[in-house]
Each structure stands twice: as C-alpha cells, then as structure tokens.
Amino acid sequence: MDYRLLNDFSEIDPHTWNDLLSESVSDTPFLRYEYQHAWWEHLGGGEWKDAKLVLVTAHENGKLIGIAPLFLAEYESQPALLLNGSIEISDYLDVIVRAEDHARFISGLLDFLASTLTDSWSRLDWYNLPDNSPTLAALEVESAKRGWTHLEEVYRPTPRIALNGDFEEYLSRVEKKQRHEIRRKMRRVAESGRARFHIVPKDADIEPEIETFFQLMIQDPNKALFLKDVMRDQFITTVRAAHQYGYLWLAFLEVDGVKAAASLNFDYKGKLWGYNSGVSRDYMELSPGWVLMAYVIQWCCENGRYEFDFMRGDEEYKYRFGGVNRFVMRVRVGR
C-alpha cells in the first residue's frame, strides 16, 4: 500500500471518504468526513490547544484502501498519537477501512507512523474504539510483533436498546415497575391534552431550532458549564453538517405550545444515536424529558429502527429504559 501523510482535510475528497466509510469496519456518524472536519476545525470544542493533524491515507492501484484520522499532541506528559475526535464529544472512533483490508492496513500504518514521524511520538492512545472493532485485536497482534507495550481497558459503557418494531414488546422487556411508570406518564400527558410530540422536518430552517435546543440544554447546570463559546461553535457546526447531509433527528415535546423538552439524535444506518437532550424546569409535573424519551423509542419501533443507542455514559435513566451495556475501549501502544 502507498501511505500518504496529508496536511489538511482539503486534500481528500469528502465523497470518497464517506464512500469508504460506508463499507468500513466501523461506520458511525463520528467518522464521517463532515464530522471529522468540523471537529478538527474547533479541536473538540477547545479540548486540545496544541495539536498537529496526522491524516494518513493508504492507496493501492489508485484505489483508496484506508484512512487513519489522527493528531499528535502532548498527552499525559508524553507525545501521543490520538484518533481525531478524541476524547469527550465523539462517542465512537476508529480507523476507516474495509474488513478484508483491515489487518494489513493496521500493520502498514504502524510501520509508516514509526518511519515517517520517527521520534516525534512515543505511543498511540486511542479512545472510544467500539468493543467489537477488529482494531483492538490488530493492535494487540502488531504490538507483540514489534515488542511494543500494549494495554487495553474498558473506557465507558454505551447502553443500547434492541428493537424489533413492536413498542409493546419493547416495554415487556423493561423492568415491571419502570414499565408501569413509562405507561403512566405517557397516559397522563395524552389525557392532559396539553402536549405535542414534534419532529423537526428535514427541510426546516435549523437555526432557530438549534437555538431553542441550546436554551433547553443549558437548564442543566452541568451542561451549561460544558457549553462554553468554543464548544457551542463546535456543536453548531456539527449539527448543521448532520442537517445538511440528512441524518440529523431533532424532536421536541411541546407543552401548552411551548417547547419543554428536546432530543437531538443522529438517524444513521438504521438506528437512532442519542447525542444530547434538554429539558425545561417549568413543566416537571408532566415529566417532559421522560415522556419524550418514551416517544422517541416508540417512533423508532414504528419506523423500523433496529436500535436506540444511548451512547457513552452510565446515567441511571438509560438502564431504567432498558439499556443493555456495550462498551468503548481505550488502547495504549507504547514504542
């Protein structure tokens, strides 16, 4: 394979990138060209200060075989190569390569990084690799071949709900007390006549909807602290890109004509990826956040989505809605 080190995202065609991703071992919204480019422009909403892009491609007979979107930064007192998107706001990361090319791509990539960047890095530190990614085994094998150190550990849980199109069947798998609570709260909202579940149309003007979402999001004090100006810019760029490419899924629960809760997701590859949410404190008697979550899952069932992915985090509500843990991993490879 012919490995190349690119200096900027403009050196690779977005369609070529996304076409390869659609056939790769880990096809997630966080690996799409527009997301990766936006993340790099804002360096994770200010998470990184001094980082150098290390965007590696591999071609064979003129065909793009693999992409390793990386960056170099001082991390935990060592110069490390991390996956572009690390660490906090990109729930799933990986290299971009088809399964049949994966093992040799990883092997050649490590040789290329060692020979091209020579002494500028001392380890790979890759976060948010899906627990079923072949990259995990490949890094272990290649590290052993080279006599490099290798450490793999669970980084975060990523609870998910498997769905088969039947909302009642889904509820039957939820713990009995919680099942009754979901039904009771949905019934109370329906009987009140005050609420409406509304999905933002694909062709809507997204700008006012983003602003409304932010106003709901920052009612949580922790999210308000998180949403600094640079993170807000990062978030807006990401949401606009998802809207432009057609996989943004944004829904509100309106109470008395006022948006009281919001659920922002990615509708991608047959499942809904739960990215963030916001809830007004003015209508808590109707449990708007809780009810909206139930409506979101019901929508998934009625529209053929096979899974709702809560993504990273072990918040209690995810398990009360029936989330079952999968995990993302962290792998450290030291030269």
The three state secondary structure string of the chain is CEEEEECCHHHCCHHHHHHHHCCCCCCCHHHCHHHHHHHHHHHHHHCCCCEEEEEEEEEECCEEEEEEEEEEEEECCEEEEEECCCCCCCCCCCCEECHHHHHHHHHHHHHHHHHHCHHHCCEEEEEEEECCCHHHHHHHHHHHHHCCEEEEEEEEECCEEECCCCHHHHHHCCCHHHHHHHHHHHHHHHHHCCEEEEECCCCCCHHHHHHHHHHHHCCCHHHHHHCCHHHHHHHHHHHHHHHHCCCEEEEEEEECCEEEEEEEEEEECCEEEEEEEEECCCCHHHCHHHHHHHHHHHHHHHCCCCEEECCCCCCHHHHHCCCECCEEEEEEEEC
pTM of the predicted model as reported, rounded to 2 decimal places: 0.96
Q: What does the pLDDT average to over 41-64?
A: 94
Give the model's pLDDT for residue 157. Answer: 98
Q: What is 160-309's CATH superfamily?
A: Gcn5-related N-acetyltransferase (GNAT) (3.40.630.30)
Is residue 104 over pLDDT 90?
Answer: yes
- pLDDT for the residue numbered 212: 97
- pLDDT mean over 120-141: 98
Written as six digits, the tokens of 148 are: 């490099």
Residue located via tokens 């995202």: 9
Q: Do the beta carbons of residue 156 and residue 328 sit within 8 Å?
A: yes
Distance set, CA 254 to CA 130, 162, 259, 276, 293 (Å): 35, 27, 4, 17, 13
- Give the pLDDT score at 248: 98
Tokens of 15: 């369609």
Task: Give 67-90 pLDDT, tens digit per residue.
Answer: 999 999 999 999 999 999 999 999
Rg (CA), the chain: 21
Neighbours of 191 (CB within 10 A): 9
**Residue 119: what pLDDT?**
86
- Look up residue 230 and give its amino acid: V
Query: pLDDT at position 49, please?
Result: 85
Tally of CB atoms within 10 A around 52: 13
Of the pLDDT bands very low, low, confident and very high (cuts 50, 70, 90), residue 38 is: very high
Residue 118 has pLDDT above 90, yes or no: no
How does residue 47 score in pLDDT terms, banded at 50, 70 and 90? confident
pLDDT band at 46 (very low <50, low <70, confident <90, very high): confident
pLDDT in tens, 215-272: 999 999 999 999 989 999 999 999 999 999 999 999 999 999 999 999 999 999 999 9
Quick one: pLDDT at residue 231? 92
User: Nearest Cα to 252, choosing from 223, 212, 221, 286?
Assistant: 212
Which tokens sit at 290?
Answer: 């809780």
- Which CATH superfamily is 2-155+330-334 part of? Gcn5-related N-acetyltransferase (GNAT) (3.40.630.30)
Please report the pLDDT score of residue 203 as a whole number. 95
Q: pLDDT tens digits for 299-316?
A: 999 999 999 999 999 999
Which residue spans of the chain are classified as CATH 3.40.630.30?
2-155+330-334, 160-309
Determine the pLDDT at residue 102. 98
User: Considering the chain, what is the average pLDDT of its residues?
Assistant: 97
